[in-house]
Amino acid sequence: MKDTIICRCEEITLGDLEEIAKKHNSSAREIKLLSRAGMGFCGGRTCRPAIDKILTNITKENPSDALPLKVAPPVRPISLTDLGGFGKDDE
């Protein structure tokens, strides 16, 4: 069960979270920062509820009570043409 992946983007397992908590005696927020759980491509949209529940069980504190980490969904994709300022007629 410790090898269950909690954060797919950063490949963080339940065991990783528990090990960091034990090694550093950290708060829920610090564990998130040390492990990068919830900071991957999805910005925590997929794993954040699971991470918060697990960290509540590990640290006995509610991660929402501390200064929350920003959940930032990915921005809208943009084409390289738009980014470079060249239109189809300029190619």
List b or e across 45-64, with b for residues whose CB sees 16 or more CB atoms inside 10 angstroms. Answer: ebbbebbbebbeebbeeebe
C-alpha dist (Å) from residue 65 to 28, 40, 62? 10, 22, 5
Domain residue limits at 79: 5-90
Which two tokens mark 32? 């998130």
- State how many domains the chain has: 1
Write out pLDDT tens, residues 17-41: 999 988 998 888 888 889 998 888 8
Collect all residues with Cβ–Cβ distance below 8 Å to 71 and sequence separation of at least 6: 38, 43, 44, 45, 48
Average pLDDT per 10 consecutive residues for the chain, totaling 91 residues? 91 92 86 88 85 86 61 66 67 54
User: Tokens 């090898």 sit at which residue?
Assistant: 3
